[in-house]
Amino acid sequence: MSGPKSAYYAASVPEFLAQPAESIVNELTARAVSESNQSTNLRQQQQAWVEQVTLLQATLAKIPDARDWGLVLEYSLHRLGRRPDAVLLTPGVIIVIEFKMGAKARGHKKSYTDQAVDYALCIRDFHGGARDCVVAPIVCVQHAPTYQSEPPEIIDKAAEVIRSNAADLFQSLRVAAALAKKPCVALTWQEFLQAPYNPTPTIVEAARALYGGHQVSEIGRADSSGESRERTKERLNSWVSEARRSKSHIICFVTGSPGSGKSLLGLNLILKEEGTGRVAGEPAAFLTGNRPLVHVLRKALIQDAKARGKHPEDTKRAVEGALQTLLGYLRQHTGESATVPPERVVVFDEAQRAWDEKTGKKLFRRESSEPALFLEILGQLDWACLVCLIGAGQEINVGEGGVKLWEQAILAEAKRGHPWHVVCANPQELTPDLLHPSRLDPHLSKHLWPQVDEEPDLYTFGSVRSYRNPDHVEWVDALLAGEIPRAAEIATTMREESHYPPMMTRDLSVMKKWLKLRRRGRRRIGLVVSSGAAERLRAEGVHVPPTSAKLAKIERWFLKVHPDFLSSDVLELPMSEFGCQGLELDYIGLTWGTDLIWMPEQAKWRPRKLHAGKWNNIHDLDNAQFRKNSYRVLLTRAREGVCIFVPRGSHRDPTRSVEHFNSIAQILIEAGCQEISGEAHKPKVRRKKRLEC
C-alpha cells in the first residue's frame, strides 16, 4: 500500500507481510525513479531493498504483537536531506531502523550509529506524532558481530542506539518495543504520515539549504509560525518587485522576537528567491556587523559546495558578494574612492544595532550615523529596496542607537529631496514620528514627507531557534527584567507542557556531563561565557574565549566536530556573546559570572565591570543595558536546552565573592531553574559483551 509523497511506502505490518517482497521493491524503485534528486546507484539500491524487505518480513512474522504495528519505508526528513530505511510504529515507541546490507558492511561504524541517531532525534524533535512516544534508533548491519547489552538508556525521550545484525534483529525489535513509558495504542501509518513534520534548521543549515536550491517552506516549520514566515517572504518579494517597477526607494522593517526567523528570511531573499539575488543574476547582499557570522556562513557554503562537486573558487566569489560585513560595504562606497554599489536589494541584519553619528565620525571622519550613510549610498541608485531586520535586546556595543537613528535618517533624506517609502508591521510603535509631520517639521513639503505603509506580515512570531521550548525567550526576558515570580510561572508552564526549563548546577563537571550525554548524532554542544566575566572565571576552570577577531578559531568552533580540540563539542574553549551572536548550538552550558550580580535587598540585577583588579558598578544606563543584553544573547543561543553553571567562588578572592555567587544561584532557582547534582546526571555504566555469530 503506497503512501503519500513523504514516504516511498507505508502499510500496516499485516498488509506488509501479505504483499510479495518483489512487489514492495517495485514500489520503492518506482518512487526512487520519480525523485529528481535520486543519486544512488539504482541497481545496488534495489538489491539492498530486496534484502531489507525480505529480512523485515521474516523478522516481523515471528513477533505476534507486530500485527498491531505500522510500517513506513524511506520516510523523508527534510532537515537532513535523507530518508531512514524503515520506521516501525509500535505502542508508545517509534523504532527507526537503518540497514547496512552486503558483505562490505561488517561492523557498527560510528558513522552508521550517528546516522541512525540523527534520524531518531529529528523525528523526536520535529514530528508531531512523536510527541508522546519514545524514539528508539536501531542500526542493523547484516554481517556484524552480535552485541548483548542491557536495555538502552533513554535521554529526553530518545533511546541510545541499539546495535543489531540480521540474526538478532528479532531480539533488538523486542527490546526497543519494550521501552514504552505507558500503555497506549500504536500510531497507524496514516496518522504518522499525516502528522505535521516541522524541521527547524540552524542558521548554517538554512544557508546551506537555500544556496542548494531549497525553499523556506521545505526547511522551515510547517505550523502557523511557518505559514507566517512564508507570508512574510511573499510580501518582501512583492515590495522588491514594486521598487523595481516604480523605480522608487523602499525600506522594509521586519520585526520579531529573537530566534523567530528574521535572518532566515533575509538569507532567503538574497540567496534563493526568483527575481532577486543570484538566481536572477541580479546583485543582492546580506549585510551584518557581525564578522563571525559572515565568516562562518561563507566557510560553510564553500565547504558544502565543494562536497557537492561545485568549484570552490566560483562559490567563494559568489558568497563573498552575497554575504558582506557592514563596515566593508561602507568603506567601499564612501570617501574619495567610493563606488556606486551594484546591489539594489540589500538586507541589513540586526538593524537596530546601527551606530550613531559619534561612532561615524570616529570610523569615517564624518558625523553621520550608519543609517544616514546607507540611505545616502543607496539613494544614488535609480531604485533600491532595503530590508532592515529588527530584533530586540541584542544591542551589546557602545554607540548602537536603535530604530530612532533610522527615523532620523529617513527624515534627513526627505529634506534633501530623496523620500523613502517606509513599510513596517506597526508604524505607531516603530516609526511614530514619521506619522506626525506637522509636529516635527511643518516646513517640509507634504509631497516630500516619507510615505509610511502598514504591512502586518512583516512581523515574525514563534521560535525557530528554541523549537523545543517556545517559552524560553519569554523566560529569559522575565529573568533579566528582575521579574522573578513571572519567570517562575513561565518555568512551571514549561514543565507542565513537557518543555525543557533551564538547568542549574554549582559544579562545572556536572554541567559538562549533562552536555556530553546530549552530544549525539549531529547535535552540537558548547560552552559560552560573558566577555565581561571571562577574566575571573579562569580561576573557576573556564578558559578565556577568543575575541571576535579570531575568525579561524570561531569557524572551527562552529563547523568542526568532536574530537577536533577547537570544536564546541569538546567543551574546552568557550565562546563569548561577540563570537556567537547570530549563530546557535543545540545545547549550551553558560557559566554565570559576577559581571551581572543579583542584589537581594534591591531585588534587581547589578551590571559591573572589572577595572584595575576590582569590580565597579556600571552607572551609565546604556552600558548597563549592554551587559544585561550580553546575557540575553548567551541564554538564547541554545536550540534545545540550557544548563547554567554558577561557581562557588572563594572567600579569599574578592573578585569571586561567595556571597555574590550564592545570590545568583538562589535567584536562578527561584526563577524556575531545575538544579542538578552529580548523581542526577551520572552516565550509566554498561558493559557490553561481544559474541560471535
SS3 label, residue 550: coil
Q: Within 13 Å, how many C-alpha atoms sit on residue 107's CB side?
A: 4
Q: Are strands 93-100 and 86-90 parallel, antiparallel or unpaired?
A: antiparallel
For the CA atoms of 80, 83, 86, 92, the dihedral, rounded to the nearest 10 degrees, stands at: 40
User: 525: exposed, middle or buried (C-beta count within 10 Å: 0-12, 13-18, 19+)?
Assistant: buried
Per DSSP, which regions of 202-335 are E strands? 249-256, 284-288, 323-325
Q: Are 649 and 656 in contact (CB under 8 A)?
A: yes
Neighbouring CB atoms inside 10 A of 559's CB total 16
User: What pLDDT sits at residue 274?
Assistant: 47
User: What pLDDT sits at residue 516?
Assistant: 94
User: What pLDDT sits at residue 671?
Assistant: 96
User: What pLDDT sits at residue 398?
Assistant: 55
Which residue has cell 513506513? 72
d(CA 573, CA 526): 8
The single-letter DSSP state of residue 618 is -
Which residue has cell 529526553? 156
Confidence of residue 689 (pLDDT cuts 50, 70, 90): very low
User: What pLDDT sits at residue 181?
Assistant: 81
User: What pLDDT sits at residue 281?
Assistant: 53
User: What pLDDT sits at residue 487?
Assistant: 95
Between the alpha carbon of residue 388 and those of residues 26, 100, 200, 640, 668, the distances in Å are 51, 48, 23, 28, 35
Judged against a pLDDT cut of 60, whether residue 39 lies above it is answered with: no
For the entire predicted model, the pTM comes to 0.79
SS3 label, residue 400: strand
Positive/negative CA dihedral, 243, 275, 258, 222: positive
| pLDDT per position as a tens digit, 304-319 | 877 777 777 777 888 8
Mean pLDDT for 88-93 is 94
Per DSSP, which regions of 120-259 are E strands? 134-141, 146-148, 154-155, 158-159, 162-164, 249-256
User: What pLDDT sits at residue 212?
Assistant: 67
Q: Report which listed range, 55-69, 325-339, 491-505, is most confident.
A: 55-69
Per-residue H/E/C for 335-399: CCCCCCCCCCEEEECCHHHCECHHHHHHHHCCCCCHHHHHHHHHCCCCCEEEEEEECCCCCCCCC
Confidence of residue 148 (pLDDT cuts 50, 70, 90): low
Confidence of residue 466 (pLDDT cuts 50, 70, 90): low
| pLDDT per position as a tens digit, 549-587 | 899 999 999 999 888 999 999 999 999 999 988 888 999
125-128: long-range contacts (C-beta < 8 A, 24 or more apart)?
125/200, 125/467, 125/468, 125/640, 126/79, 126/197, 126/198, 126/199, 126/200, 126/467, 127/192, 127/195, 127/196, 127/197, 128/195, 128/196, 128/197, 128/198
d(CA 448, CA 379): 14
The whole-chain average pLDDT of the chain stands at 83
The single-letter DSSP state of residue 541 is T
User: What pLDDT sits at residue 687?
Assistant: 39
Judged against a pLDDT cut of 90, whether residue 664 lies above it is answered with: yes
Per DSSP, which regions of 612-659 are E strands? 614-617, 638-645
> Which residues are registered as beta bridge partners of 123?
none
Confidence of residue 527 (pLDDT cuts 50, 70, 90): very high
Positive/negative CA dihedral, 479, 483, 487, 490: negative
Judged against a pLDDT cut of 60, whether residue 321 lies above it is answered with: yes
User: What pLDDT sits at residue 77?
Assistant: 81
Mean pLDDT for 200-223 is 66
Domains and CATH numbers, the chain: 7-197 (no CATH), 234-290+324-460 (3.40.50), 472-675 (no CATH)
Which residue has cell 512487489? 23
Q: Within 13 Å, how many C-alpha atoms sit on residue 304's CB side?
A: 18
| pLDDT per position as a tens digit, 610-654 | 998 899 999 988 889 889 999 999 998 998 889 999 999 999 999
Between the alpha carbon of residue 373 and those of residues 115, 336, 363, 398, the distances in Å are 49, 14, 12, 19
More confident residue, 442 or 454: 454
Proportion of the chain above pLDDT 90, given as a percent: 38
**Residues contacting 227, CB < 8 A, separation 6+:** none
Overall residue count recorded for the chain in this entry: 693
Which residue has cell 560471535? 692
Positive/negative CA dihedral, 227, 228, 231, 232: negative
d(CA 523, CA 533): 27
User: What pLDDT sits at residue 685?
Assistant: 41
User: What pLDDT sits at residue 684?
Assistant: 46
Proportion of the chain above pLDDT 70, given as a percent: 85
Q: Are 545 and 579 in contact (CB under 8 A)?
A: yes
Per-residue H/E/C for 455-492: CHHHEECCCCCCCCCCCHHHHHHHHHCCCHHHHHHHHH
User: What pLDDT sits at residue 510?
Assistant: 96
Judged against a pLDDT cut of 70, whether residue 19 lies above it is answered with: yes
| pLDDT per position as a tens digit, 389-443 | 987 655 555 556 678 888 889 988 888 888 899 998 888 878 777 776 555 565 5
User: What pLDDT sits at residue 394?
Assistant: 55
